[in-house]
Amino acid sequence: MAKKLKIGLFGFGCVGQGLHYVLNNSTGFKADIVKIAVKDKTKERSVSKDLITFDKYEILNNPEIDVIVELIDDAEEAFNIVSEALKKGKHVVTANKKMLAIHLEELYELQIKNNVSLLYEASAGGSIPIIRTLEEYFDNEELEKVSGIFNGTTNYILTKTINEKLSYAVALKQAQEKGFAETDPTNDVEGYDPKFKAVIIALHAFGLIIKPEEVLNLGITTLHENDIKYASEKDYKIKLTPVIQRLPNDKVGVLVAPRFVKETNQLFNVENEFNGVIVEGKFSGEQFLQGKGAGSYPTGAAVLSDISALSHGYKYEYKKHVQKHASNFTNDVIVNVYFRYNSLIDLNKIEFDEISEKYNGGDYNYIVGKVNLQTLLNNRDYILKNKLFISLVNDTISLKAKKAEATVNKEKQLINN
C-alpha cells in the first residue's frame, strides 16, 4: 500500500498552483501539502495563510515532511534547496530544468551518497513521460536518436506566426497572456530551455552527463518573413527541435536549432503549446509521444506523477550511465543547414564544407549546405548579433562524425575513378 506523503512545497506560481489544484482534484492519490515557501510577502495567495512560510528552513528542518517539491524560478536558489534537502535525507521532486542541467553530476552523486530519490519528469517534456519511458522501457536498448519539440512556448509562437501569419511580437504576447511564456521569454525563444531538457534527456537516453555550455542552442529570435516564405515554398513547417544522436564512432552529438519539417514527419502536425518526442531505438524502431508542453495543469500533473511514484519507493536507476552506453559527447560533426546571411563577411566567418543551394537577392541571401557544428557554436554570438538565421534542413536529421564524412567522400572518389 502506498504511503500517504507529507509535502513541503517551494514556490506557488503557475506550476505550484497547478500542482495544488491537480492534487486536490485527483481521486486515486492523496498527499498533504504541509507548508508552502514563497518569496513575495505582499502577494495575495489562494490558499490559507497558515500554509505559507517565508523561511525555507521551516520546511527543510521539519522531520514530518517526507518530500520536498521545488518549483521556483531561481536556478541557483533551487539548487541550494534541493541539495540541502537531499543531504538531509529527504526525497525531492523538481521541475527546474536549468538547475538540473547545470548541476546534474552533483545531484546524481548526492542521490547515491544519501540514498534518496530525486525525480524530475516535469522538467523535460511537460505532460509527456519521456524520462520514465527512457528509464523503464528503453533501459537496456541501445538508442540511435531522441529528437522532437521540447518547448511549448516556442511551438505556440511558431504556430501562430506560420499558420496564422501573426507577427512574432503579437504571437509572443499571446503566449505570455495564456501563461505559456514568461515576462522575460529569453530561455524559451533563444533555445536555452530545450537545451537544458536535451542535456537531461542525454543522461537517460545515452548515459552521458554533458555541460550545457558545450551544447549549441539557436532559437527563433532572428526568424524573418523571408525564412517563413522559403519554408512555405518548400512545403516545410519550422519547428525548434533538439537533437540527441548517436554517431558512427559511438559518440553522441547534441544541438538545439530551428528545423524545417516535412509533412511526412510526426512533428509536422504538433502545434500550439504541444510537445512531441521521437525516440529511435536500434531494435524497436521509431516511437512517438505527444502531449502538452506548457501550462499550469499539465506540468502540475507531471509533478504529481513523480510524487505518486515516490510513494511507491521509485527512483531512477541511471542504468545507461552506469553501463556507459555511449563513449563521449562531441561537436565535431557535420550538419546540413539553411543559412540566411547579410554579406560575404558572414560567409567568410561561417565556413561551409559543402554548398548544395545558393541564392543572392539583394536584401535576401541564403545558402543550403553542410557545416561543422563546432563552427556554429564558435560563432553563435556573431549569428545572433547580426540577426542571421540558421535552420536544420534534413527531414531525418543526420549527424555524421567528420571522420566518417571524409571516409565516405574518399570512397565515392575511388568508385568514380
DSSP 77-135: HHHHHHHHHHHTT-EEEE--HHHHHHTHHHHHHHHHHHT--EE-THHHHTT--HHHIII
Q: What is the C-alpha to C-alpha distance for residues 103 and 100, in angstroms, rounded to an integer?
A: 5
Active site residues: 197
Q: What is the C-alpha to C-alpha distance for residues 214 and 331, in angstroms, rounded to an integer?
A: 8
Q: Which helix (H) or strand (E) holds 179?
A: none
Sign of CA dihedral 378, 338, 385, 149: negative
Q: What is the C-alpha to C-alpha distance for residues 100 and 195, in angstroms, rounded to an integer?
A: 12
Give the list of residues 6+ apart from residue 339 with CB closer than 8 angstroms, or none.
350, 352, 366, 367, 368, 369, 371, 388, 389, 390
Q: What is the C-alpha to C-alpha distance for residues 244 and 397, in angstroms, rounded to an integer?
A: 10
Q: What is the C-alpha to C-alpha distance for residues 252 and 250, in angstroms, rounded to an integer?
A: 7
Angle between helices 225-233 and 152-163 (to 10 degrees): 80
- Quick one: DSSP state of residue 63? T
How wide is the angle at C-alpha 406 spanned by C-alphas 401 and 409, nearest 5°?
125
How wide is the angle at C-alpha 128 spanned by C-alphas 127 and 134, nearest 5°?
145
Residue 250 corresponds to which cell in the numbers above? 559511438
CA–CA distances in Å: residue 398 to residues 262, 268, 322: 15, 18, 27
Beta bridge partners of 360: 365
Q: What is the C-alpha to C-alpha distance for residues 312 and 161, in angstroms, rounded to an integer?
A: 44
